[in-house]
Structure 1
């Protein structure tokens, strides 16, 4: 690395002791603490009372929805009880999407924004694990095996159900794979129906790379409306590989379909409409994606600790870029620069979670966490406790 001026070195060291909290005000972080389309219908003695009660009700409903979005369902936690004053301290603002009112009734739809730091504090004080990191998009390949001829890239009820997918207000954007020729060549419908496990991962890896996806979901649908449907999900995650197929019978589908988009076009008279169960199947896939993501990037205050990392650098720009990306990782709450040499920087990360979760979270910011060769792989162990941490890991920019 070229010679550092005293001013540049001072800037790096000051940045080294700054908390990563300052980097969380970006758009992606704010989206995690926002709830859209919160609908309320309140009747009261007069219009003003109805509106005031509706606003409070919308904020409470939004907090419940936010809790469900951020926390793993498997943990079984219920939203903490909060007073009206505590609720107001959690809410940073709200916007009215739509309203109708009479002399005694108020019907409205709101967007509610929450203060990230206040919500984090509430969850941590109640011992609740949570995830807030927005993941890279999940790309869905809807394989329809309900008829005699499988279909994957052509129109049919299953693909149509995905094309009509409602609003996904979660941590992972879920998108339908477009019928691009390169993808069709890589994975024809018949090959997807009876895939070779040894090659399917490589095929999905190419598709993920072409679309910049954080995961690719091959969602196979079988059955019919009379006997019931069944899903089989195979999920490929770059850097982690292909999951074992998961079978989900219709009895285990989620109970409600996704809300319809506000700008959804009116149904065309006489046009074929997918069976309602397919809307529930779509919502079930989205739910599996969301819950899987939360498990992979969960923030756990009980696992607070430090991880010492080496950052190979050739110039100051590399170090600045690594630190900028670290500031966008919610489970990294502090970054300290412990040493700065001509070829490397040594950082100490204070994290809420274990090393496996940290690796996944860093990958979403295109940072690669690897274990240094001298230390055997240890898997998902908790981060080291307080005190000087041994340098066991290295962080680099993806693609460098």
Structure 2
């Protein structure tokens, strides 16, 4: 897409200190800028952290149990982190976890909750890694990895069970997806509210015959980059007496214009414990072999595949070489500057940025980033920023549509969930 721009007046920042200070601090003064710096959650910290690790260790005494639990949590966190960020074919290049390696990589271990007795230690832990240390080992071992968070995507859970289709409401498939491990994903999700307008957009035609054009229209309506239609069909297995599940995953649109591509995958799962990968989900003995068990398996598989698709599109070369691009943006007052600054700080592959010229109605930025220009466009789109071509160069436009919230349960406004 190319924009036609009228003439703009540019003032080098060096010669406009007063105007620059007014734009940065505005009427609210330095406190407003400081509020912006204290973002809700730093994107880099989210990328390089693993949350909610359960540990339960028994040893000769509580001190030894705690030491073993913390060591175990860090090893598991490192494995989870590299599986999240690193290309599958590059995982073998990384050295095995060892105490010296983890000591150089782990920034902190945060304890959410803990219980202990004379010999037993139980806790829920968050492990935060040093982004620079992790990037360094990725570069030294020549692995490709992602540094981009995506979403929020609209997740549409479609369940067929005993001849009934369920889309909205608190049905078992929605519960399984909402209850999966969402903290450690590359993609954030949300559900559609149960409203007449949502039902009209997520029509039978879209759910049964999706195509990129239909998905693009739905994405624009819900103000999200992509739609994920996750369909589960529970099928009785009369030989085993346990349910089987056939799943179908559609993700789209997959390009900047939103009209050309979508991803489609399908498969089957059983409720048998014999072919169960413990990494798929925490499972109790009473849950194994049940409908809830197979839905949990499918939910984790669906979310992993969605993450894998995003990772494939956003992989960076191991060298991490940086490029600089000059862009113009409509920044003519403090609020506009703070909004763009906050969004740019949330983009993982943006290493730095600075305002080089102040103009009316457009100002100019220099953005330093890793990856390709197409990957930069894709990452910026997740932060509600569009990088467009114009007669005078690249223009950065803020998308002011409602960004919604990450994964939330549908809010019913009456009516059936079926």
Do both share a fold (TM > 0.5)?
Answer: yes
Alignment CA distance shift 1:225-1:80 (3 Å):
farther
Distance (Å, rounded) in 1 between the aligned partners of 2:362 and 2:352: 19
Residue 24 of structure 1 contacts residue 327 of structure 1 at CA under 8 Å; is this kept in 2?
A: no
The correspondence for 2:143, drawn from 122, 128, 144, is 128
Q: Does 1:288 align with 2:305?
A: yes
Question: Structure 1 residue 353: deviation in Å?
Answer: 0.5
Equivalenced residue count is 363
Alignment CA distance shift 1:201-1:80 (3 Å):
same
**Cα deviations across residues 131-178 of structure 1 (Å, max 9, x unaligned)?**
344333222112224543433225654344335445542222233433
What is the TM-score of this pair, normalised by structure 2? 0.71
The correspondence for 2:17, drawn from 7, 15, 22, is 7
Distance (Å, rounded) in 1 between the aligned partners of 2:88 and 2:346: 25
Residue 204 of structure 1 contacts residue 236 of structure 1 at CA under 8 Å; is this kept in 2?
A: no
Residue 140 of structure 1 contacts residue 176 of structure 1 at CA under 8 Å; is this kept in 2?
A: yes
Q: For residue 233 of structure 1, give the secondary structure of its aligned residue in structure 2.
A: strand
Q: For residue 291 of structure 2, give the secondary structure of its aligned residue in structure 1.
A: coil
Question: Structure 1 residue 207: deviation in Å?
Answer: 4.3
Residue 64 of structure 1 contacts residue 79 of structure 1 at CA under 8 Å; is this kept in 2?
A: no
Distance (Å, rounded) in 1 between the aligned partners of 2:328 and 2:57: 56
Q: Which residue of 1 aligns with 2:233?
A: 222
1:378-389 map, 5 Å = none
**Cα deviations across residues 32-72 of structure 1 (Å, max 9, x unaligned)?**
23322223344444332232222222222222222222223
Q: For residue 127 of structure 1, give the secondary structure of its aligned residue in structure 2.
A: coil
Alignment CA distance shift 1:103-1:338 (3 Å):
closer
Distance (Å, rounded) in 2 between the aligned partners of 1:44 and 1:10: 61
Q: For residue 250 of structure 1, give the secondary structure of its aligned residue in structure 2.
A: strand
Q: Which residue of 1 aligns with 2:205?
A: 191
Q: Which residue of 1 aligns with 2:133?
A: 118
Question: Structure 1 residue 368: deviation in Å?
Answer: 1.0
361-370 or 64-73, which moves further after superposition?
64-73
1:264-275 map, 5 Å = 274-275=291-292
Distance (Å, rounded) in 2 between the aligned partners of 1:363 and 1:161: 29
Q: For residue 286 of structure 1, give the secondary structure of its aligned residue in structure 2.
A: helix
Residue 48 of structure 2 contacts residue 128 of structure 2 at CA under 8 Å; is this kept in 1?
A: yes
Alignment CA distance shift 1:58-1:199 (3 Å):
closer
Distance (Å, rounded) in 2 between the aligned partners of 1:109 and 1:320: 36
Q: Which residue of 1 aligns with 2:389?
A: 371
Distance (Å, rounded) in 1 between the aligned partners of 2:263 and 2:327: 37
350-359 or 191-200, which moves further after superposition?
191-200
Alignment CA distance shift 1:49-1:191 (3 Å):
same
Q: For residue 150 of structure 1, give the secondary structure of its aligned residue in structure 2.
A: strand
Alignment CA distance shift 1:351-1:154 (3 Å):
closer
Q: Which residue of 1 aligns with 2:374?
A: 356
The correspondence for 1:28, drawn from 42, 53, 71, is 42
Q: Which residue of 1 aligns with 2:6?
A: none
Q: Which residue of 2 aligns with 1:387?
A: none
Distance (Å, rounded) in 2 between the aligned partners of 1:178 and 1:399: 20
29-38 or 340-349, which moves further after superposition?
340-349
Q: Can you give the 5+ residue segments of structure 2 that lack an aligned partner in the other structure?
A: 1-8, 25-35, 238-242, 402-418
Distance (Å, rounded) in 1 between the aligned partners of 2:282 and 2:400: 38
Residue 303 of structure 1 contacts residue 354 of structure 1 at CA under 8 Å; is this kept in 2?
A: no
- Greater relative contact order structure (CA < 8 Å, 6+ sep): 2
